[in-house]
Amino acid sequence: MSATNQHNALPLLSCNNLSWSIDDKVILDNINVQVKKGQFIGVIGPNGAGKSSLLRCLYRFIKPSKGEVTYQHHDIWQLTAKEYAQQVAVVLQHTPQQFQLSVYDVVSQGLIPHQINFKQTFSELFAGISHKTQQQICTALAQVGLTHKSEMPFEQLSGGEKQRAMIAKAIVQKSEVLIMDEPTSHLDVKYQIQIMELAKSLGTTTVVSFHDLNLASALCDEIWVLKDGKLVSSGTPDLVITEPMLSEVFDVCTHVKPHPQHQRPQVTYFYGYSSQTNIIDSEQGVSDAK
Amino acid sequence: MRNNLVAGSILLILTLFSFLIALSSGAVHIPLSDVLNLLSASNSDVEQLTRNIIVELRFPRSLLAIFAGAGLALAGANLQMITRNPLADPYLFGISSGASFGVVLAMTIVGSTFAFILPLAAFAGCLVAVTLLLLIAGLNRSQQVESMLLAGVALSFLFSAFTSLMLYWSDPQAVTAILFWTLGSFARADWQNIWLPIVMVIVCLSCMLIYHRHLTALLLGDESAKTLGINVKKLRISMLVISSLLTASIVAICGGIGFVGLMIPHIVRFFIGQGKRANLIVTGLVGGIFMLWVDLLSRTLLDNQELPIGIITSAIGSVFFLALLYLRKSRY
């Protein structure tokens, strides 16, 4: 999909003046963003910036206290949870342990939003999962490379394989939009790249939160930068991943240069005590101000 | 899938076989041929006494044993799924202590002369406990699972305290009667009262089969389940209500039978997991067979005396469970 196409496309999801607070503590402050069809969007920001909260608002887990989230111009809270689940699939950061389900069982949960009527459920009850549906699950498993492990207990998978199984579940859900909340935390470098490239290869409209700036820069069409619940910057990686921005948002000294392979910004961090002096100064400044 | 079918068929045959054995054994031994003869033809040449023993006593009793075992096992499996807690059990939520309280109250007020009132009192006690639990769990919006479990335990203690207090004030005869009641027995089974547990088992099993995929989705966490469009709160509360009513219908007739609801789901899960619908049917059948044999033991172990069911289930259950834990350790 070309960049011009994306600009002309109508927004699928948009946040209009979105704010969310708990007991007077503002978590998200007046956020306006749009997700267009086919875009791969990265959400970055320091811990506690509100990345997960923003994504939770997008996947209809949190009801915003002000403003609205719309899906194709409908307020998502006017849709039922099931209708919305048919449009938006989610891959979460953590999966609980110990539940003795096979990989196939977990992946087949993606069918839930599409179990529309009792007739369908009953026919499945007595005749088993239909051939077409089975095919759908098998294709999803093949897409994430887990066909040979489909009957294995989910718990026995490695961290990367677990996330791949969760992505397969999202594929079975056949949604327009995929939202992923830090899917690569706890994973090693190989799996981080593998999972993100897999997500990108699906071609679905995707919103994903990252901690790895280089991965975000390499894969995303657009990046949203959050700090203290505010949208600090948004745009293409070239516009957003800059030394002043990283210093302002993450309080780190960096050097940004084009990546040798794809020419997008590549971040190099400076280490050592002296490189952190400006941080100590700025923190001092903050505490003085208090 | 095929494994499940094979397991299901074997268990079904085993259930029928155990049922026939249960009909033939007891204080009076009736040959299997007579039992089969009686069941296959209505006008057979079996003696009237034998016919009465089988049709009026052993048949309803064994049927109740099967459905009580299946019901407790299913209720346990259901509660373990909706709370994501392997220790959940139909009696954990104060249901059984609510029933005991009902029985004790009824005995104190009307005495033990009106035996028929005890099941009613037990059922009413269960309902009070469940209603209180729902009120508490329904009030707390976040962390529903935790508050539900803790509220259940607290209610359980509350009812036990009241029960103990009333027992402390009542006469020794009532204390014995109540003790016997809390240990469980199928002796009260007759054709008039076994329909409620049977209906409830069928209702509960059907709901669990229909919503099985939703229930397994709960295992992956509330947030994950919500993103699949599931109304988590509604699903959890309705499943809690259904399994509580099922437990109440069993407790009201059979008294307290511990450990089955906790143990059977674990055993089934240990061998065949919990991702497939067929596993629920296997859970029910295993529970039913187990209870049938426990009842048989309780009737035949001692001459002219019945052992309370609760003692046998707990004794066999704990030993078996410990063995299973040991097995699991050595497996991984």
* Record: contact A92-B227, CB cut-off 8 A: yes
Which 8-state DSSP code applies to residue A41?
E
Q: Which residue of A has its CA nearest to B265?
A: A100
Q: Which residues of B touch A98 (CB under 8 A)?
A: 86
Determine how many CB atoms are found less than 10 A away from the CB of residue B93: 31
Nearest to A109 among B86, B228, B277 (CB): B228
Determine how many CB atoms are found less than 10 A away from the CB of residue A112: 23
Residues B198-223, mean pLDDT to the nearest whole number: 91
Residues B172-185, mean pLDDT to the nearest whole number: 79
Residues A277-284, mean pLDDT to the nearest whole number: 51
Q: ipTM of the assembly?
A: 0.84
* Record: contact B273-A100, CB cut-off 8 A: yes
pLDDT in tens, B48-69: 788 888 888 889 999 999 999 9
Residues A101-107, mean pLDDT to the nearest whole number: 90
pLDDT in tens, B233-243: 889 888 988 98
Q: What is this structure's pTM?
A: 0.87
Which 8-state DSSP code applies to residue A102?
B
**Residues forming beta bridges with residue A224, ordered by sequence position:** A43, A234
pLDDT at A2: 44
* Record: contact B224-A128, CB cut-off 8 A: no
Question: Residue B217 above 50 pLDDT?
Answer: yes
pLDDT at A4: 43
For chain B, how big is the Rg over CA atoms in Å?
A: 20
In 3D space, the residue among B220, B6, B252 whose CA is nearest the CA of residue A100 turns out to be: B220
Contact indicator for B59, B332 with CB cutoff of 8 Å: no
Residues A53-81, mean pLDDT to the nearest whole number: 92
pLDDT at A285: 45
* Record: contact A109-B220, CB cut-off 8 A: yes
Cβ contacts of A129 within 8 Å, gap of 6 or more: A108, A137
Strand-pair category, A74-75 with A66-71: antiparallel
Provide residues of A within 8 Å CB-CB of chain B: 59-61, 80-86, 88-90, 92, 94-96, 98-102, 104-106, 108-113, 115, 118, 121-122, 125, 128, 153, 173
**CA dist., res. A102 & res. A3, Å (int):** 41
Q: Which residues of A touch B223 (CB under 8 A)?
A: 61, 92
pLDDT at A258: 93
Question: Residue B321 above 80 pLDDT?
Answer: no
Q: Which residue has the higher pLDDT, B176 or A113?
A: A113
